[in-house]
Structure 1
Amino acid sequence: MRTVLIIILIAVISLGGCNMQNRFLYFPSAEWPTERMLEYEKMKLWAAVTDDYQGLVSAGDAPAPNGTIVLFHGNGGTALDRGFYLKPFTNLGFRVILAEYPKYGGRPGKVGEKHFVADGRKTIRLAHEQYGDPLYLAGESLGCGVAAAIAGQTSVPVAGIILITPWDTLASVAKSLFPFLPVKLVLTDKYDSIENLKSFQHHIAVIGAERDEILPVNHAINLYNALPEGRKRLWIIKGAGHNDWPMFTDVSLFKEIIDFVKIDVHQ
């Protein structure tokens, strides 16, 4: 009887795996950023057409002598909530594109690794066509998995990568959260940043939060340790949690990170 129940449980998990994963992993938003919202945040739509857009940028036209950073945010909130990235990176001479995901921020489409990565590849292709080199990728939480997957699949030259509160693999996170479940049956997405970055040839900055209560910092450390030697550096933000880490930093950290990832461009 016990064996039968286990078989039934596995079958149910297998059939409902996608829905189960998506309920835990994605929190899309149907709210399109209005003109008033954009004006308040001093942003504007980027690569917009009638019923879609690829991301948000600063409403100002500050010079960007050091290139473009395309940033992929975490699974909660939208690109509109990530305005705090604009000032430090802009002050360091970068143009910042806050990429938006399908089904987030009122965009059409579907959630999932396949859809996010395909859309992200389009975003960086458009950014490269419009602004040229150098182009950098940055990720936050889930966005680290997206950025890593894009870097492993795109033909667009990526000059460096910044990963903030990342995981090593989605399976590793799932196993730590749900040790009693057969996670390979539950997960339909992989987001295997170790595999996706194993052949990346430029500098990778990994930033973990010491007291990360959502993605424990060991995932960031595991990712860092698995990356190829020589072109990586790890920062651990002391006392910081998953969402409050900006309160524990200042512009000096951003400058350290930028100085590291842009080394190849200035050699």
Structure 2
Amino acid sequence: MSLLLGTVTALAGTYILAAVVLAAVQRKLQYFPDPHLTQLAQSGLNGGEDLRVRTDDGETLVAWHFAPRNGRPLILYFHGNGGALIDRVPRFRLFLDRGYGLLAVSYRGYGGSTGSPTQAGLIRDSEAAYREARALGYNNHRIILMGASLGTGVAIALAATHAASAIVLEAPYLSALDVARTLYPIFPVNWLMLDRFRSDLAIRDVHIPVLMVHGEKDDVIPMNSARSLFALANEPKTFVSVSGGDHLVLDLPDVFPRVCEWIDAQASTTHP
């Protein structure tokens, strides 16, 4: 009996210690920034400008801006939880080749930007990027919000409080809390998690056209999380399920044209 009690006590102690460690390092498990600055001139992309954007809490963000061609809209882009802007160059080139404008902001702590990432900080970063877009002369009818993975939570939070033409969400999630429950089912993440990105709550205040794109074999953000979020979104809304697609699918040759077609339709509707 004493042996059993000792085993149970040891297991309980190990569990509690693991939960404490998980809580202590949770942001290191949620954000994977590459802090190194790569100048736009080193990216291989032509015709853009390397900007520095100030947030309302005093951080300085690196941002890349490319003006649109032929009346196309501006894509205000919010990236995922890893790397830096330089890692998105192939994707950015696809949009630029189609004539879209682009304003991509590097979150705090990423790619030469000051500060450290938190949910509140990333939301401030998105608001600073939006202000920059307006200062550059883009009205809300010319702005398409776009988020990828973690960035979908940032984009949705922005869309809930700021006007735009439409929003594109690649690999969205019901909430970061929902994803964490899937990854760490034995821990009380409801109590432990700080940066929850409650897109399930914010999406209800988004009243612009929504496009969600998700790979059916996404092993990072489960499809059912995206489907649950879609169910909460207001009309008009469109869901593109990519058969065989993994986590990020926007660049696939059978997906990218569909996304562009949808963006063009929204832009022509709101800004003839």
2:84 is matched with 78
Secondary structure in structure 1 of the residue aligned to 2:113: coil
Secondary structure in structure 1 of the residue aligned to 2:152: helix
The match for 1:31 among 7, 32, 36 is 36
In structure 2, what is the Cα distance between the partners aligned to 1:261 and 1:210? 25
In structure 1, what is the Cα distance between the partners aligned to 2:40 and 2:135? 26
User: In the alignment, is residue 143 of structure 1 matched against residue 151 of structure 2?
Assistant: yes
Displacement after TM superposition at 1:191 (Å): 0.7
Distance 1:264 1:202, change over 3 A: farther
User: Per-residue CA shift, 1:149-177, capped at 9, x if unaligned?
Assistant: 1222x4x4222110001111111111111
User: Per-residue CA shift, 1:191-210, capped at 9, x if unaligned?
Assistant: 11121110211101011112
In structure 1, what is the Cα distance between the partners aligned to 2:153 and 2:33? 17
The Cα RMSD (Å) is: 2.8
In structure 2, what is the Cα distance between the partners aligned to 1:177 and 1:20? 15
Distance 1:95 1:45, change over 3 A: same
Larger radius of gyration: 2
User: In the alignment, is residue 236 of structure 1 matched against residue 241 of structure 2?
Assistant: yes
User: TM-score of the superposition, structure 2-length normalised?
Assistant: 0.83
User: In the alignment, is residue 169 of structure 1 matched against residue 158 of structure 2?
Assistant: no
Secondary structure in structure 2 of the residue aligned to 1:115: helix
Residues 68, 131 of structure 1: 8 Å contact kept: no
2:113 is matched with 107
Displacement after TM superposition at 1:181 (Å): 0.6
Query: Once structures 1 and 2 are overlaid, which stretch shifts more, 21-30 or 2-11?
Result: 2-11
1:210 is matched with 216
Distance 1:15 1:251, change over 3 A: closer
Q: 5+ residue gaps in structure 2?
A: none
2:190 is matched with 184
In structure 2, what is the Cα distance between the partners aligned to 1:245 and 1:258? 13
Secondary structure in structure 2 of the residue aligned to 1:198: helix
Residues 202, 264 of structure 1: 8 Å contact kept: no
In structure 1, what is the Cα distance between the partners aligned to 2:157 and 2:251? 25
Q: 5+ residue gaps in structure 1?
A: none
1:20 is matched with 25
> How many residues are aligned here?
259
Distance 1:187 1:263, change over 3 A: farther
Distance 1:41 1:88, change over 3 A: closer
Query: Once structures 1 and 2 are overlaid, which stretch shifts more, 93-102 or 136-145?
Result: 93-102
User: Per-residue CA shift, 1:85-131, capped at 9, x if unaligned?
Assistant: 33443354421111210000021112110001011101111111212
Residues 32, 83 of structure 2: 8 Å contact kept: yes
Percent identity between matched residues is 24
In structure 2, what is the Cα distance between the partners aligned to 1:10 and 1:54? 40
